[in-house]
Amino acid sequence: MLFYVMTTLHVLVCVILVLVVLLQSGKGADLAGAFGGGATQTAFGSRGPASFLSRMTTAAAVVFMLTSIGLALISTKAQPRSILETTGTSQPARQAPAASEPSQPMPTQEEIQRKLEELQKQNQGKAAPAEQPSR
Report DSSP letters for 41-72, one per residue. Answer: S-TT----PPPHHHHHHHHHHHHHHHHHHHHH
Least confident of 25-34, 39-48, 73-82, 90-99: 39-48
C-alpha closest to that of 60 among 91, 14, 27: 14
The residues near 33 (Cβ < 8 Å, ≥ 6 apart) are 26, 27
Asked if residue 94 belongs to a domain, the reply is no
For the chain, what percent of residues have pLDDT higher than 90?
34
Cα–Cα dist 6/67, whole Å:
6
In a domain, 65, yes or no: yes
pLDDT of 96 over the 60 cut: yes
Domain count, the chain: 1
SS3 33: helix
| Beta carbons of 3 and 78 less than 8 angstroms apart | yes
Residue 11 belongs to some domain of the structure? yes
pLDDT value, residue 56 = 92
Q: Which domain holds residue 13?
A: 1-26+51-78
- Does 98 map to a domain? no
Contact assessment for residue 81 and residue 13, using Cβ atoms and an 8 Å cutoff: no
Considering the domain boundaries, does residue 87 fall inside one? no
pLDDT of 90 reads: 59
Residues in the chain: 135
pLDDT at 26 over 90: no
Q: Please state whether the predicted TM-score (pTM) of the whole model is above 0.85.
A: no
Give tens-digit pLDDT for 34-81: 565 555 555 565 556 678 888 999 999 999 999 999 999 888 765 566
Q: Computed over its alpha carbons, how large is the radius of gyration of the chain?
A: 43
pLDDT at position 130 is 53
Q: How far is CA 18 from the centre of its chain?
A: 31
Beta-carbon neighbour count of residue 36 at 10 Å?
8
Tell me which of 128 and 95 has the higher pLDDT: 95
